[in-house]
Structure 1
Amino acid sequence: MPAIETFRIPKHRRHVATARQRLHKALADWGVADQLADAVLLLASELVPNAVLHCRVTYALVGVTLTLDGPELTLEVSDPDRDRLPRLQDSGPDEEGGRGLTLVSALSDAWGCRQDPYTKCVWARFTLVGRRDVAPAAP
């Protein structure tokens, strides 16, 4: 049975830190540490603020789900602005933004986005097989 941490935060910057704290606790509880935990938290620091910043739905909630299912760890961030899917950008060296999805692509084993009935979701997946930064599962 997969381990799941799921919650929603109000679409406001001050709640981004709360999302990171909850994800950090879940990763620690599941024995995910070091570089993998750092990568997941870094991608959460990209995806959650992007949802907060770019969602055009007033008073929206941003959904965050972290799932550990066998050899895969998946981070999902969703918001109700379902018609605005994110896309990779080729940002120039002088541009301040636009590199978030490039970072997601570089640090995760797979990533993508999907339109659900009422939301859009950006996800990043990590494969745990052969990693040294995951504690063995408890018997």
Structure 2
Amino acid sequence: MTFELNLLATPQAVPELRHHLRAHDFEVGLCVTELLTNVIDHLGHGTPVTVRVTGTAHGHTRVEVTDPDPRALPILLPAADTAESGRGLTLVDHLSQRWGVDQGADRKTVWCELAEPGQPDISGSKISHL
């Protein structure tokens, strides 16, 4: 099942997006929400994005969020125990088999791949920047 939606990154878009993804696993919705929230926090309210959820040849679910700024790259940083924010990418890293960034001249896509329920976790590096 492939899902694609073009929208503006706003706090109001988050629950609407979750509603569209209700047929997917909770982890898929959580990763999409975190990646969309990163766009809102780091690029600004109203940034146009494309959200995609697709299957892979390996039986994983791939989540992608594409935005128009190829320069603002996500960085996985440790969050302090008392921090009220900054855990989104850590959560994506923990839930996903792997994640990364595909850069173009005028866009970037932050993506992650999640195993289907019951599939074993894969080993190796999780971060892939292309």
* Percentage of pairs with the same residue: 31
Relative distance call for 1:67 and 1:94 in structure 2 (3 A) is same
Deviations 1:76-105 (A, max 9, x none): 012112201010112211211111111111
2:21 is paired with a residue whose SS is helix
CA RMSD of aligned residues (A): 2.1
Secondary structure (helix, strand or coil) at the match of 2:112 reads strand
Indicate the SS of the match to 1:62.
Answer: strand
Whole-angstrom distance in 2 between the partners of 1:11 and 1:106: 24
Q: How many residues align?
A: 119
Larger Rg: 1 or 2? 1
Unmatched segments (≥5 aa) in structure 2:
120-130
The runs of at least 4 consecutive aligned structure 1 residues that moved more than 2 Å come to 127-131
Residue 59 of structure 1 deviates from its aligned partner by: 4.7
Partner of 2:125: none
Q: Secondary structure at the match of 1:125?
A: strand
1:15 aligned to 13, 36, 44, which one? 13
The CA deviation string for residues 24-43 of structure 1, in whole angstroms up to 9 with x for no partner, is 24x2xxxxxxxxx1111111
CA distance in structure 2 between the aligned counterparts of 1:59 and 1:104, rounded to whole angstroms: 23
Using structure 2 for the length normalisation, give the TM-score: 0.80
Aligned residue for 2:2, secondary structure, equals strand
Counterpart amino acid of residue 63 in structure 2: L
Matched, 1:114 2:84: no
